[in-house]
Chain A
Amino acid sequence: MSDQAPSLHRIRLHYTRAKELRYVSTLDMQLVWERTLRRARLPVAFTQGFTPRVRFHMACALPLGFTSTDEVADLWLAGDAGTAEVVEKLNAAAPPGLVVKEAVEIPLSLPALQTRVEYAEYSVLLSEVPDGFDLPASVEKLLRAQSLPRTRREKAYDLRPLIDRLEVVSSTPPELWMRLSAREGATGRADEVLLALGLDPTAARIERTRLVFKED
C-alpha cells in the first residue's frame, strides 16, 4: 500500500429491487452488492481486519418476498469517482432486478444510515380477497383499535403503534398503501398488517415504495 492514503468518499445510493431479487435475504443481498461492486471495478473502500469486507451499508432490511422501488444504501469509495460514473458502472455490472437510480456524495460525518430510518411506505396489490370481504370497513376497524396484539416468531408484540397510516387506494383491484414504523427495534411488517386484516400475504404483491428518514 502507498503511504498516501487515498481520499475517502461516501456515496448514498437509491436503487430498486425487482422481482428477480424477491427471495434474496438481507445477508445475501450484501453479497450480491459486494460482487456487483467488484464487477463494476469501482475503487471500493474495505473494512480493516483479517477478512476485509466492502464498506457498504444498507439502510434497512427488505423482508423476503417484497420488491422495492426505493432502497437506500451508503457506499464508501477510496478514491475519486464521479457519481454519474458510479451509477453507470453499477448498472452495467448489476444482476437482473437491481437498478441504481441515483448516487449522491454526502459528508463522511453523517450518522449511520440505519439509525436514521423513520418510516417505510408500502404499496400492496391483493390478487384476491375472500368473498364478501369489505376492505374499507376492515381497514377502518383496524385503525380504530387501541392495540393489535400479535405474535411473530413466538414473540408477542403490539402492531398498532407501528402503523402510521393505512389507506385503501382502490377496491377493484384491491390495493392498499401503508406507512409503517421502520425505526431500529420498532419495525412494522406489511405482511403482518395483512394478517391482522384477515388477508393472506402470500396472495399479495408487496412493494416498498419509499424510506422516510429523520432530518440529519
Chain B
Amino acid sequence: MRNAEQIERQLDRILLKVQKPGRYVGGELNQVLKPWDEVKTHVALVFPDLYDLGLANLGLAILYDQINARPDALAERAYAPWIDMEAEMRRAGIPLYGLESKTPLAGFDIIGFTLPYESLYTNVLNLLDLAGLPLLSSERDARHPLVIAGGHAAFNPEPMSRFIDALVIGEGEEVIHEIINTHQAWKASGEPREDLWIRLARLPGVYVPCLYEVSYHPDGTLSGIQPTHPAAALPVLKRVVAQLPPPVTRFLVPSIDIVHNRIAIEIMRGCTRGCRFCQAGMVTRPVRERPVDEILTAIDDALLHTGYEEIALLSLSSSDYTNIKGLVEAVSSRYRDQKLTVSLPSLRIESFSVELMEGLRELRPGGGFTIAPEAATERMRQIINKGITSEQLLETVRAIYSHGWLTVKLYFMIGHPEETLDDVQAIVDLCQAVLAEGRRICGGRARVHAGVSTFIPKAHTPFQWVACDSVEQIHAKQDILRKGLRHSSFKLTWVDPAVTMHEAWLSRGDRRIGAVIQRAWQLGAKFDAWQDQFHAETWLRAFADVGLDPDFYSHRMRAQDEVLPWAHISTAVRTTYLKEELRRSQQGILRADCRDHCVACGILPGFNELRMNTPPEAWKCPPVSQVKAR
C-alpha cells in the first residue's frame, strides 16, 4: 500500500492537470490534523459527491467535530473526485485518501459514508473501489476497515445493505461514539469479525444487514425479514438525541469557492406539521429546539472562527420555532452592521412571515421570497395535509410584493395521490393570480418563480403504500405547466421524470435492488445526481440484466398488509398511525399540527424512557405523565 508521503508527492504531479485542484489537498482553516499514531481509532468520513457539495454537509461537520473532540480517535474527510481527477488517480495508482493526512482510506479503522439522498449510491461503490476495497461487505475481511453509513436515505437501508457493514438509523451524534468504543473493544478482544457484527447490532439504532434474512413470495413481494442472531433487534428503532448538543462553530473554511459558504446553525430539529408526503417531517420527530441564547452565542463564535459572510438558520419549518420573533430581532440588531446575509428557510404562508423577513431585510440584499404551497387546490391540500387556503396564500403574496420584494418563489409538487390534470392546471392559475397581484402592486417588474418537483412516495410516510405517477402522466402534467407558464415573467423549473423514477426505485427498493446498483455502476453509472452524468438507459439496462422490473418498485400500489422492505426499521411513528393518516387523506380530512395537541403518532411510547428523563420544555411532545393522564 502506498503511504501518505508517496501520495502527496504524486498529487503534485497531477493536480495541475485537473479542474479546481484545491478540492483535493485539504489544509483548510479549522481542519483537524492529528498525529496518526497517537490515537486508537481512525475514522474517514466520506461525502459521496464533490468536495464543493460535501464540505458544507452539516451532518458530517457534526461528526467531524464529535470524533475529533475525543483524544483517542481522529476523523479525516474524503469526497468523490470529479471524473478528470478520478482518471488521473487511477492512472497514477493513487487510492482514495483522507484529505488531512493523505493516508489511503483502506488504512483507516472505520469508513463512514453519509447518504443524504439516493442518487449518491453509485458514488459510494465507486469510492469503495477507488479505495481499493471489495464492494461487497461479505467479500471484505479483517484486513479491511469497518464500513458504516447513515443519513436520511438510510431509513430504507436495504438497497445499500450488501455494500455497507452497519447502518445507523437516525441521529448520529451519540451513537458514533458507541460505535467507536465498540470497535475499540472488539479490536482489543482479538475476536473474529463476526463478533464485531454482533457487538454493533446490540447498539440501539444500528442495523447490521448480514444478521437479517429476507424471504420473498413468488410474486416478488417480501414474506418476511427475520434476524438470524439474538443480538439483532426487530424492529431496529431509530436513534434520537434527547437534546441537541451545542452547535458546531468551528466550520471548515475552504480556500476555494464552493456551493454553500456559510455558517449553518440548526435552530430546531423535527417538525409537527404532518405533511403526508414529507419523509423528513415523519422521521425527524420529536421536535427539539435550541434556545435563542445558544444560537446567538454559536453565531458569534462561528463568525469569529470562520469569517463567513452568510448565516443559515436551519429547520424544517422556521415559523414554528417558538421564539422566532425574538430570534430574528436579536439576530438583526446584533449583526446589522456587519454586512452579513441571514437566511431563514421554510416560512409558513402567512403575513407574519413577511414581517419576519422584513426584520432581516438589511441582512438580505436582493433575492426573492420563497413559500411552499405544495399544491394549488383545496382538495389536494387536504390530501397532503397542507392546511392553508388560496386566499391566505394570496394575502401573503400581497404582503410580500407590498414590502418591496419583486420575485416570489413558489414551491409545488405534482404527482400527489389522486391528483388530476385539473389540479395541475390550478398550479398554473395560481401562479397567474400571484403574478397579477405582483403586477398590481409593483408593476411590470414583478416575477414568479415556480419550482415544481415530482412526488415520490417515501418510506415511513403515510403515502408509503401508494404508487408513483407513470412517466406519461408526469409528462402530461409538466406539459400543462410549461404551456401555462410561458410568459417571461415566469420562471419554471421541474424535474426530469427519469430522475424521479430513479429516486423512486432506489428509495422504495428492497435488498435485491443492491444488485441493480452494482450492475449500473459496472455499466458506468456514477454522479447520478448530476443531470449531465445521469443516464436512465444505464439503469434500465441494469434492471434488465439483473432480472428485476423497475415498475414493481415505483408503479405498484402496495397492499396495506404487504411486508414493506423497510418493515424492520422503526421511526417510532406507528404503522397504524400512518395507515390512519392515509385513510384521512383519502377522505380529505386535515390533521392539525400536533404541537398543541398530541395525536399519539407513536413517538412517546417509542421513546418513553428518554422523554421521562428529558426536561418537559425540551421537546414539543408533551411530558409522558401528561399523556397517561389523558
Contact = CB atoms under 8 A, between A and B. Distances in A.
Nearest to A19: B27
A51 interface: yes
Interface string A13-36: 000000011111101110110111
Interface in B315-374: 339, 365-366
A24 B28 CA distance: 11
A207 to B, nearest CB: 13
B90 to A, nearest CB: 18
Nearest to B14: A202
Interface in A38-57: 38-39, 41, 46, 50-52
Residue among A24, A51, A201, A203 with max Cβ neighbours from chain B (10 Å): A24
Given A65-B16, A96-B27, A97-B27, A24 B255 contact: yes
A52 B339 contact: yes
A95 B307 CA distance: 11
Contact of A24 (B17, B256, B308): B256
Nearest to A21: B255
B29 A37 contact: no
Contact of B25 (A23, A25, A41): A23
A23 B15 contact: yes
B359 to A, nearest CB: 20
Contacts of A38: 303, 307-309
A37 B16 contact: no
A93 interface: yes
B303 A20 contact: no
Contacts of B575: none
B267 interface: no
A200 to B, nearest CB: 9
Nearest to B253: A35
A39 B16 contact: no
A77 B442 CA distance: 39
Given A39-B306, A95-B29, A32 B12 contact: no
A64 B16 CA distance: 7
Nearest to B338: A38
Contacts of A25: 22, 256
Nearest to A24: B255
Question: Is the contact region of chain A dominated by helix, strand, or loop, or is it mixed?
Answer: helix
Contact of A95 (B12, B255, B339): B255
Contacts of B366: 50-51
A134 to B, nearest CB: 24
A202 B13 contact: yes
B257 interface: yes
Interface residues of A, number: 31
Contacts of A95: 28-29, 253, 255
A39 B257 contact: no
Contacts of B257: 27-28, 31
B308 to A, nearest CB: 7
B305 interface: yes
A93 B16 contact: no
Interface string B18-36: 0001101101110100000
Contacts of B255: 20-21, 24, 28-29, 32, 95
Nearest to B27: A20
A28 B22 contact: yes
A107 B15 CA distance: 41
B27 A35 contact: no
A39 B22 contact: no
Interface string A179-213: 00000000000000000000001110000000000
A23 B307 contact: no
Given A24-B255, A35-B306, A35-B308, A96 B22 contact: no
A68 B614 CA distance: 55
Contact of A96 (B12, B13, B14, B29): B29
B304 interface: yes
Contacts of A46: 339
Interface in A152-190: none
A31 B254 CA distance: 10
Interface string A44-88: 001000111000000000001100000000000000000000000
A202 B28 contact: no
A24 B16 CA distance: 11
A38 B256 CA distance: 17
A42 B309 CA distance: 15
A125 to B, nearest CB: 12
Interface string B204-243: 0000000000000000000000000000000000000000
A28 B303 CA distance: 19
Interface of B: 12-17, 21-22, 24-25, 27-29, 31, 253, 255-257, 261, 303-309, 339, 365-366
Given A24-B22, A27-B257, A32-B255, 5 more contacts: A23-B24, A35-B306, A39-B306, A64-B16, A97-B27
Interface of A: 20-25, 27-29, 31-32, 34-39, 41, 46, 50-52, 64-65, 93, 95-97, 201-203
10 contacts: A23-B15, A23-B21, A27-B257, A28-B255, A32-B255, A35-B308, A51-B366, A202-B12, A202-B16, A202-B17
